[in-house]
Every structure is written in structure tokens, then in C-alpha cells.
Structure 1
Amino acid sequence: MRKITLSLLAAACTAFLAACSAGSTADGNSDGVIDVVWYPNESGEDLKSSREAIGNAIEEATGKDVEHHLTTDYAIAIETLVNENADMAYLGAQGYVEANAQNDAIQPMVVPSGSSGTLDDAMYHSWLAVNQEDQKNYQADGEFSLDAIADTSFSFVSTSSTSGFKVPSSTIIEHFTEKDEYADLTEEDLMESGPLFSQVLFGNSHQGSAVNLLNDSAEVAAFCDTCVDNYVEVAEGEENTAGSTYRVKDDAAEPFNTVTGSEFVLMSVTPVLNAPIVANTNTMTEEEFNAVHDMFTSDEVANNENIFVPEDSEESALFTKSDQERFVSVEDSWFDPIRELSE
């Protein structure tokens, strides 16, 4: 993801110790390799140099080789880590919560900060979007209305996606359960056709969900700003503002190369906690965890333009630097707001 822009740096030390505690008795792996698994969103060829820069930092910190495991499915990435076939992963907040619930040896290491360089503004944005030419169909009295998404075809990312399912589904359920017709609406109801949507699709990545919208497979789609930032630009309005129009760049890489020039409008924008880089403390030793953590939070990594690409650069990378962005420590409890969405 790029431009990943909530946080509490004051908790950094506690965060780090909490994350390491589970790994203090770990034997670590013995094959001389650190295996890193990536979500589909970050598995594209356009982000290869950024993945490799992350890998190089891990290699420098541990003295071990890094092997990257690319995926086409959120569940595969999570299960690979949970089943201890990988040592590290870059997961969304929901993915981390799911992984930690299945294997408490999986602990957060760092998250990308906001522009302040702290956890205070470490957030990105969950979008609900519609095609530009259809936007009036989703408005009432000149304002976008969630009422209008009933009986539409809808695209989510994955049920393990924070901004591509968990956050938007929570918003949708909160809105519709106030109506007698949908009083019993559940998260499970949103995973399939009826009672709210005429059809439900899953893009398996944020890019895939966006393309489902732009190629008319879906009428409304959920996806996040950071995962599509490399492919789109603001055509009208302000960034991350409901009512703004985005346009797919003429030179957009796959999968957007089939929908270049297409435009969509944001009908809803919701802030979301930044995604963590996590480690399995059963397969990494405390020494390895500490070494990678210290490398990631160093100025060396913060200033690595293959990891934190300058905001005005044309290059693609996982993260963007507009000011003081860097990796900062994080504790497990920081993700409790995401856990609470399932309660």
C-alpha cells in the first residue's frame, strides 16, 4: 500500500515489549530463511522493488535470506502465517486480529505512521464508490445516501479485509438495522445475495474490487485509498472527500490497464487504523524480532525511498513520505477498536 497515513508513539516501548514477550521462548526457525507472506494488494509486479527493499532490510538485520510469498487470497496469507509456514507478514488490522485469535504467537511489530511520524495520525481510508455517470442514482436531495445501495450489486474485497469489508459492513449494518425491513441484518447477510444486495462479489484485493466497479460487474464497491493510489488521480474535488471524483491514470498498471480513463465518485469515506507488519514469535527468536524491529524503526528505513517513496515521485512503493512518515512500534491493544466491530 502507498500513502498509508491513527497512533500513540508514547506506547512504543510497551508495544515492543508486549510484542516480544510471546517470542521470548521461541526457538526460531533453523533454515536460515525469513519467510514473508504478502496480501494480494501488495503482490503486484509494480511493488516488487518495494517488497525487495523491505526484504533487504530484514536480511541486513538478521543475516538471513528472505523469501517472499505472493498470494491471490487474503485467507491464504493469513493461514500461511497462522500455520507457521511464514515468519512475517504485512496484514490489515482485521487480518492481524484474525491471525492473533488463531495463534497468539502472532504479534504486531510496527505500523507505518502518519505524516506526524507518530501513531496519532496513522490511518488510511475506506471508500464506498460508484461510477461517475451513475452518481445521481445514489443521492437524495443532492447528498449521497446509503439507502440507495439497497438492491444493488456490491463488491467487497475479502471478508478478512479491514477497509474492504469489516469497516464498510459495520457502517452499512448500523445504517440499515434502524429500518424495520432490515432490523435483523447481519454481517453474514452481506456476504451473499439478499436480503440487502441483489448480488455480492469479492475482488480478492482492493484493486480487484475497484475494477469490479469500473468494468460494471458491480454497481457499488468498497476499497481503500492506499491500495489504488498508484493507479488513480483526483479529477475533481479534494482527496479522500465524499463527492470527489477519481480517474484511472492512462498508464495504469494491471489490473487497471483495462479501465484506463474510467472515473468513479466517492459516496463515503471512513478513517481506518493503519495496517501492521507482524511476526510469528514461535518461528522468530526474540533476538531476530528485536533486530528487525530496530531496523524498521531506524532512520535508514524511514529515508529509504524504495520503501517510503517521496510524495511527488512517479515511482510505485508500499508507503509514501509527505513529511515525517516512518515505521513506529505498536501494541496489540491498539487494534481493539477493530476487534470491537465483531462484538
Structure 2
Amino acid sequence: MMKKAGLILLTFLIAVIFAGCSTSANSENNKGDDTLTIAWLPNESGADLVEAREEIGKVIEAKTGKKVEHQTTTDYIVAIEAIANGNADLAFLGAQGYIEAHNKNEKVLPIAVATGPSGTLEDAVYNSWLAVQSKDADTYKNGDEFSIDPIQGKKFSFVSNSSTSGFKVPSTGIVDYFKQEGEYGDLTPEDLLEGGEDKFFSEVLYGGSHQGSAVNLLTEKADVAAFCDTCVNNYVELADGEENKTGAVYKVKEDAAEPFNTVAGKEFTLISVTPVLNAPFVVNTDNVKEEDRKKLLEIMTSDEIANNEKIFVPEESEFSGLFKKTDAERLVEVQDGWFDPIRELAK
């Protein structure tokens, strides 16, 4: 009888201990209703964007009374997993990153996206670039026009296979172009993931961020690189040609911050430019109550955010921010279906 009582007591104590551990782990993940954690991709995690990240946090804190914590990352997957598994409440992801997070957890939904100059979703796009070092640019020409034909067999740098403009869009574009030629009729984006003697590219590198992919090119680790305009705008300036047009030449600023500080003055040329849907702020609706989600939407889409020069940076400003203000740019509400064109690329 004593043994049986002892066994019951032991079982009870184990249950209490495990219940306590479970509660503790859950509290650690969600950090309570008084804290909002924002996960950032590697592109926006650099020291040069500290003030821009904190400015968004300050506005949210002032309007909600909640503490905002910033989770910076060095890997796309870390940010995607953080919002999908509830370790982050909000995240700023590319379209492909959002789709991957939503596929992992349908409770992850977009909340707002930056518009184009019109102030609407009609021109809410940025640009995916394929770039080469300017000293090699002429070898990527067919007559007077630039061509991507010579990229086959080259050393190529992507950003991450979870990047929209640093992998999804350029890989689909490359496949669609080369499939028109008989030799590459069976080419798929998966064939571009790694290089080798029997592969499309001789070598494939991943920058981990758009900045990293650009530096791979400028340090001659890669012959061709994919990266986007918005993620490198703070570090480069137009040297020749027209912004975001094939043939445009960009030069790294002499006072460029890391990781471009080691390649100051280097130039690259665009051989392909493709518009891409803008990146959304997304929310884990399992973590964030509906009333708080509505409040966040109201904050994000407010004039206060749109007119904040540390969030939407005027063209003439030297401040390193997340968005440029050329006309009526602002954040507006966005729905899941808006990203269907990116989903279609996988079909």
C-alpha cells in the first residue's frame, strides 16, 4: 500500500514538473502579450539599418504600449522559421519567404507592403538584377544588346534559395530563357542550385544576403550575381546609364558600410532587370490577437509611418533606411492572394 501511494505521489510530481517545463517553454517562445518580436532577414539585419529598425519599433511601442524586440538573422531560414513557429510575432520577408512561412503555418499572413511612387499596389515592385563586373560587361553582349547566353558555365552567385529576387525570380527567368534552346529543354530551377562539370553553372555560391551576393561578384568569387536594387541602394551610386535598366553601371560608394567597405570604387553592370513584387510585413496570427493585428495594421498604414523620414527616406537624404520616398510611397494593407504571381513561378 505504501509502495502504491509512493508511486502515485511520484507520478504526480513528474506531471507537475513537466507541466511547469511546458509552461516555461511556451512563455519563452511567446514572451507574453506585452512584447512584440520582429524578425528581420539578413538583408535588413546589418548595423547600418539599426536606426531604421528601431524607428519602426519606437512607433509601434508608442502606439501599442508593448515592448518591441528585434530578432536579426544571418540566414533566411532562421527568419522564416521564427515567424512560422511563433518565436517571432512579426517579420519583414520577401514574397517567397512569406509563401514558405505561410506554407509551414497558415496562421502567418501578410499585413502591409510598401507601395510604389503612386501610393498604390499598382507599382509596388522592386527589381531583381543579374550583374557582372563592368570590366567583363562586353563579353555579355550580342551586338549592341546585352544577353544572358554567356552565363552558362560561369561561376554564379545567388542570395538564398528562399529569396524571391535573389533566387526564385532569376532562376525561373534563366530556365525559361534557356529552355527555348534544344540543349536545355529539360532545365529546371533545381538544376541551378549547385554547380559542377556536368551542371549548368561551373560553380554556385550563396551570398546569404543580397549584399553578400553582390560582394561575391565584386571580389571575383563569382562571374555573375543575382541581387536586388533596394538592398544595395544604400551602398552604390549610378555611374552610367539609366537606373534599373539593362546596361546601367553602378559604383560602390567610397564611404560604403560593411560589407562593401572592402570593395569601394568597384563597378558592376546590369545585364538583366526583372520587376518583383514588394516585400511584406507579416504577422503570426496565432501569437497576435485580432485586436492587436488591427492596431498594427492601422499603425503601419498611417501617415505617421509614411511621413517618417527614418522609415521612408527622402531621395536627397544620406540616411540608411528601408524604403525610399520619391513621391507618394507608403505602407498599405495587402492580402495573401496578391502574392499568387510568385506562387505561379513554382508551377
Relative to the length of structure 2, the TM-score reads: 0.90
* Structure 2 counterpart of 1:162, from 157, 161, 164: 164
2:145 is matched with: 143
Matches of 2:65 and 2:47, distance apart in 1: 26
2:128 partner letter: S
1:4 is matched with: none
1:287 partner letter: E
* Structure 1 counterpart of 2:189, from 187, 190, 205: 187
Matches of 2:292 and 2:51, distance apart in 1: 23
1:64 partner letter: K
Matches of 1:278 and 1:29, distance apart in 2: 18
- TM-superposed CA distance for 1:52, in Å, is 0.4
Tell me if 1:204 matches 2:208.
Answer: yes
1:123 partner letter: V
Map 1:230-309 → 2, pairs under 5 A: 230-309=234-313
Map 1:10-89 → 2, pairs under 5 A: 30-89=32-91
1:119 is matched with: 121
Matches of 1:120 and 1:189, distance apart in 2: 33
Structure 2 residue runs without a partner (length 5+): 1-29
Relative to the length of structure 1, the TM-score reads: 0.91
SS at match of 1:339: helix
1:12 is matched with: none
Matches of 1:315 and 1:280, distance apart in 2: 30
1:200 partner letter: V
* Percent identity of equivalent pairs: 60
Structure 1 residue runs without a partner (length 5+): 1-27
Matches of 1:147 and 1:139, distance apart in 2: 9
SS at match of 1:268: strand
Matches of 1:63 and 1:296, distance apart in 2: 15
1:241 partner letter: K
Matches of 1:143 and 1:303, distance apart in 2: 41
Matches of 2:85 and 2:290, distance apart in 1: 19
- TM-superposed CA distance for 1:142, in Å, is 2.2
Matches of 2:248 and 2:330, distance apart in 1: 28
Is the contact made by 1:29 and 1:283 (CA closer than 8 Å) also made in structure 2? no
Is the contact made by 1:57 and 1:296 (CA closer than 8 Å) also made in structure 2? no
Runs of 4+ in 1 over 4 A off after TM superposition: none
SS at match of 1:116: coil
Residue by residue, what CA displacement relative to the aligned partner does 1:58-98 show, whole Å, maximum 9, x if unpaired?
21232110110110000111011111110000000000011
SS at match of 2:69: strand
2:95 is matched with: 93
Matches of 1:328 and 1:80, distance apart in 2: 24
Tell me if 1:128 matches 2:140.
Answer: no
- Larger RCO (CA within 8 A; separation ≥ 6): 1
SS at match of 2:192: helix
* Structure 2 counterpart of 1:222, from 226, 233, 238: 226
SS at match of 1:184: coil
Tell me if 1:104 matches 2:106.
Answer: yes
2:13 is matched with: none
Residue by residue, what CA displacement relative to the aligned partner does 1:104-132 show, whole Å, maximum 9, x if unpaired?
00000000011111111111000000000
Matches of 2:64 and 2:192, distance apart in 1: 44
- TM-superposed CA distance for 1:31, in Å, is 4.6
Matches of 2:61 and 2:330, distance apart in 1: 19
Residue by residue, what CA displacement relative to the aligned partner does 1:149-196 show, whole Å, maximum 9, x if unpaired?
000000000001000000000100001112222111111110101421
Matches of 2:177 and 2:303, distance apart in 1: 44
